[in-house]
């Protein structure tokens, strides 16, 4: 393990992403990425009585799918690292409580899946663990209820708002395997430029994305040319534009290889999600369902994933606080 | 780094707890542990307009006190690992946003401080970082408001209820220094025996404490005799009794050296807290203010700290869910 520059850790022992799994909700099933997901649900409840219980079930079944796909079972996993958007991360704790795997709860808002893979990489590369399970989830209905307004109110959504992805993504990081490998992690700083509009998360989080992006390049000596793709979690249309411009203004032109999972998830013209997708599961499912498999197929060989999160809650917004953003990066590469 | 048994990691490079700091609220200032804390506040607001902002300020000032005591500054810290009880951990994110230190958010309910020191140890022992800041907080008023009833209601508290500690604890883990050293970590499993009474957290969390305790002994080959003290975070009077009996029934007699920070924090006869203290800051402040200094003075030389958390929220209780518990352990020893 070697610290590079200010924030980046180079993993000197191989950390393979052994397998991934993802399940999404019905709206995501109508979007352009549907074919890449392991399972698409027909409704938001999946037989449960509440949205919170449904979200836990989605996470639980995603982990179960991951075990089926990988041939591993919970006994093979040393530790699981998981978190989500629900207060006190209950989707993760209830979704994973029957697995009997030691549990490390994390919170990075929508950056949680990248955060869990940063920490998981450290366990594996240091020799402390052979197999780490990383998981996350989000749910449109539980998130709207908790962070904004009751869905029953039928509140109008402003053009800058994003649509929380219903779904779960999970991965197993392993000391065994032939890649793709997590080679570097760059945990991010809290960046708060004073945005207070809780309906414009893209603008609030874009500066954190650019901060981690540039720090990663400075720490590693790499440039945008090195990567086949640079991926943000859920900046959406507005945040992606801000991030592209802000990075360019600081000398980094990423425009030709830059993808945002919030932009990829829904069809702009037909799905009425305004600025695109968001939520822990936005990066969680598109990384697990799409980018991971592009790496496996060697259509992509070097990608930099930077998932962003907004570290606020409903109370902080009501008390007039601005929205601190954060972004955690993982570099994933074939040998 | 060496995995021992099922869940324990032996840290083969030295991880010193370089220094600690803690600040508490006015009720804690009237309790028997008051003289061990760095600062005792005179009121619950500390000049802020809301309890949430006060909690963030307490965490921020605790970190500032820690920098003063240790002679380090934020520039010397590689990463900070922090979390708290507020929804989306906003006490930590708002309290630390001006430090400019890369931030890793964690959630383990009242086990958060032990969880952050587990993860921090891994960063230091693996060579990924030289100095890690761990921090947590809780606040009686913000916790009651969020988890139970508005304080203005003057609701009667049942005898099994515990009193959330107002305060913050913080530590710096370092690759340099002469100890006390974190030598082993045992991240815990989620244990849910079906307790549904949100006013009896001690009973809900005690089985998780015992699970991690016994796992730690089995993994390391140690027995209770090895340690000078075994410390739980906030089981309170009821939970401490359950834990003592449950451990004994499984062959581990810890009674003579077992301390609970929730029992230590308040005076049982005069302070009317019923089953004792609780909250992230319960273990956070008593470890940082008392046990750490007992180790520094060599009054204690080998301690096992197991902080517990209840991984639920107000919605899960309202939806009839039971309360999953978790407990994370760190062994702290002088050379």
What is the mean predicted confidence (pLDDT) over A22-49? 98
* Chain A nearest C-alpha distance from B323 (Å): 9
Nearest Cβ partner for A128 among B1, B105, B324: B1
For A145, name the nearest residue in chain B, comparing CA atoms only: B315
Q: What is the pLDDT of residue B29?
A: 98
Nearest Cβ partner for A90 among B3, B189, B316: B316
Dist CA B208 CA B109 (whole Å) = 13
Tokens representing B243 are 């834990």
How does pLDDT run across A148-161, given as a tens digit for each residue? Answer: 989 999 989 999 99
Query: DSSP string covering B104-168, please?
Result: EEB-BTBTHHHHHHHHHHHHHHTTS-SEEEEEEEE-HHHHHHHHS--GGG-PPPPTT--EEPPEE
Chosen from A77, A122, A128, A321 to mutate, greatest number of chain B CBs within 10 A: A128
Q: Do A105 and B100 touch (CB under 8 A)?
A: no
Dist CA B334 CA B294 (whole Å) = 11
Task: Tokens 């500032």: give the residue.
Answer: B64
Nearest Cβ partner for A122 among B103, B106, B126: B126
pTM assigned to the model: 0.98
Measured between beta carbons, the chain A residues lying within 8 angstroms of B107 are: 83, 88-89, 105-107
| b/e burial code for range B51-61 (CB count within 10 A of at least 16 → b) | bbbbbbbbbbb
Nearest Cα neighbor of B102 from B129, B79, B81 is: B79
* Backbone CA torsion sign across B221, B222, B223, B225: positive
How does pLDDT run across A125-179, given as a tens digit for each residue? Answer: 999 999 999 999 999 999 999 999 899 999 899 999 999 999 999 999 999 999 9
Q: What is the pLDDT of residue A2?
A: 94
Q: Do A192 and B97 touch (CB under 8 A)?
A: yes
Which residues, other chains included, contact B59 with Cβ-Cβ below 8 Å and sequence gap of 6+? Answer: B82, B84, B91, B92, B95, B96, B135, B136, B137, B168, B170
Burial of A46 (0-12, 13-18, 19+ CB in 10 A): middle
* Chain B nearest C-alpha distance from A322 (Å): 10
Q: What is the pLDDT of residue A50?
A: 97
Chosen from B87, B201, B321 to mutate, greatest number of chain A CBs within 10 A: B87
Q: What is the pLDDT of residue B275?
A: 97
Measured between beta carbons, the chain B residues lying within 8 angstroms of A313 are: 86-88, 90
For B215, name the nearest residue in chain A, comparing CA atoms only: A102
* Chain A nearest C-alpha distance from B282 (Å): 18
Dist CA B277 CA B273 (whole Å) = 7
DSSP E strand stretches across B176-281 = 181-186, 229-232, 258-260, 277-278
| Other beta carbons within 10 Å of A148 | 17
State how far the alpha carbon of A10 is from the alpha carbons of A121, A173, A209, A222, B14, in Å.
10, 16, 20, 13, 21
Evaluate whether ipTM surpasses 0.90. yes
Pairing of strands A302-310, A325-333: antiparallel
For A125, name the nearest residue in chain B, comparing CA atoms only: B126
Chosen from A9, A11, A105, A173 to mutate, greatest number of chain B CBs within 10 A: A105
For A101, name the nearest residue in chain B, comparing CA atoms only: B189
Q: What is the pLDDT of residue A73?
A: 98
Q: Do A53 and B319 touch (CB under 8 A)?
A: yes
Q: Do A106 and B109 touch (CB under 8 A)?
A: no
Nearest Cβ partner for B312 among A90, A118, A190: A90
Confidence of residue A15 (pLDDT cuts 50, 70, 90): very high
Give all domains of chain B, ordered by start, each with its CATH number. Answer: 2-174 (3.40.47.40), 181-333 (3.40.47.40)
* Chain A nearest C-alpha distance from B93 (Å): 6
Q: Do B87 and A88 touch (CB under 8 A)?
A: yes
Nearest Cβ partner for A127 among B1, B83, B101: B1
What tens-digit pLDDT sequence spans chain B (335 residues)?
A: 899 999 999 999 999 999 999 999 999 999 999 999 999 999 999 999 999 999 999 999 999 999 999 999 999 999 999 999 999 999 999 999 999 999 999 999 999 999 999 999 999 999 999 999 999 999 999 999 999 989 999 989 999 999 999 999 999 999 999 999 999 999 999 999 999 998 999 999 999 999 999 999 999 999 999 999 999 999 999 999 999 999 999 999 999 999 999 999 999 999 999 999 999 999 999 999 999 999 999 999 999 999 999 999 999 999 999 999 999 999 999 99
Q: What is the pLDDT of residue A289?
A: 98
Q: Do B108 and A104 touch (CB under 8 A)?
A: yes
Q: Do A104 and B90 touch (CB under 8 A)?
A: no
Dist CA B67 CA B283 (whole Å) = 20
How does pLDDT run across A87-102, given as a tens digit for each residue? Answer: 999 999 999 999 999 9
Q: What is the pLDDT of residue A279?
A: 98
Q: Do B106 and A107 touch (CB under 8 A)?
A: yes
* Chain B nearest C-alpha distance from A82 (Å): 10
* Chain A nearest C-alpha distance from B154 (Å): 22
Q: Do B311 and A93 touch (CB under 8 A)?
A: yes
Confidence of residue A113 (pLDDT cuts 50, 70, 90): very high
Dist CA A322 CA B98 (whole Å) = 13
Q: What is the pLDDT of residue B205?
A: 97
Per DSSP, the three-state class of A147 is helix
Instruction: Report the mean per-residue pLDDT for chain A.
Output: 97
For B323, name the nearest residue in chain A, comparing CA atoms only: A94
Q: What is the pLDDT of residue B44?
A: 96
Q: Do A312 and B90 touch (CB under 8 A)?
A: yes
Dist CA A191 CA B75 (whole Å) = 16
Dist CA A24 CA A309 (whole Å) = 20
For B105, name the nearest residue in chain A, comparing CA atoms only: A107
Q: What is the pLDDT of residue B72?
A: 98
Backbone angles phi, psi at A170, to 5 degrees: -150, 150
Measured between beta carbons, the chain B residues lying within 8 angstroms of A1 are: 126-128
Evaluate whether B133 touches B81 at the Cβ level (below 8 Å): yes
Q: Do A115 and B127 touch (CB under 8 A)?
A: no
Q: Do A78 and B3 touch (CB under 8 A)?
A: yes
Q: What is the pLDDT of residue B144?
A: 94
Nearest Cβ partner for A188 among B102, B107, B324: B102
Strand partners, A226: none
* Backbone CA torsion sign across A96, B134, B117, B294: negative
Measured between beta carbons, the chain A residues lying within 8 angstroms of B204 are: none
Q: What is the pLDDT of residue A140?
A: 97
Measured between beta carbons, the chain B residues lying within 8 angstroms of A89 are: 107, 311
DSSP E strand stretches across chain B = 2-4, 8-10, 16-24, 39-40, 79-84, 103-105, 131-138, 163-164, 167-174, 181-186, 229-232, 258-260, 277-278, 302-310, 325-333
């Amino acid at each position: 393990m070697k610290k590079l520059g200010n924030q980046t850790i180079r993993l000197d022992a191989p950390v393979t992403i052994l397998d991934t799994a993802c399940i999404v909700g019905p709206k995501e099933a109508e979007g352009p990425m549907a074919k890449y997901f392991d399972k698409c649900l027909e409704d938001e409840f999946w037989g449960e009585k509440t949205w919170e219980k449904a979200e836990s079930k989605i996470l639980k079944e995603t982990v179960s799918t991951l075990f089926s796909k990988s041939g591993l079972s919970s006994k093979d996993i040393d530790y699981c690292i998981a978190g989500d958007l629900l207060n006190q991360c209950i989707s993760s704790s209830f979704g994973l409580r029957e697995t009997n795997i030691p549990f490390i709860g994390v919170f990075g808002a929508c950056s949680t899946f990248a955060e869990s893979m940063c920490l998981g990489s450290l366990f594996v590369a240091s020799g402390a663990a052979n197999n780490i399970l990383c998981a996350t989830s989000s749910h449109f209905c539980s998130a709207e209820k908790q962070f904004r307004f009751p869905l029953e109110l039928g509140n109008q959504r402003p053009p800058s708002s994003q649509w929380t992805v219903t779904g779960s993504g999970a991965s197993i990081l392993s000391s065994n395997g032939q890649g793709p490998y997590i080679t570097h992690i760059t945990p991010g700083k809290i960046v708060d430029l004073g945005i207070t509009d809780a309906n414009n998360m893209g603008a609030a989080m874009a500066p954190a994305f650019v901060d981690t992006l540039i720090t990663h390049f400075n720490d590693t000596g790499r440039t945008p040319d090195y990567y086949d793709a640079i991926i943000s979690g859920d900046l959406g249309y507005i945040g992606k534009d801000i991030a592209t411009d802000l990075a360019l203004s600081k000398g980094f032109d990423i425009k030709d290889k830059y993808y945002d999972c919030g932009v990829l998830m829904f069809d702009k013209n037909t799905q009425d999600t305004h600025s695109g997708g968001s939520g822990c599961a936005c990066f969680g499912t598109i990384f697990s369902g799409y980018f991971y498999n592009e790496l496996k197929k060697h259509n992509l060989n070097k990608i930099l994933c930077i998932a962003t999160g907004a570290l606020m809650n409903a109370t902080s917004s009501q008390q007039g606080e601005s929205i601190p953003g954060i972004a955690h990066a993982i570099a994933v590469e074939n040998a």
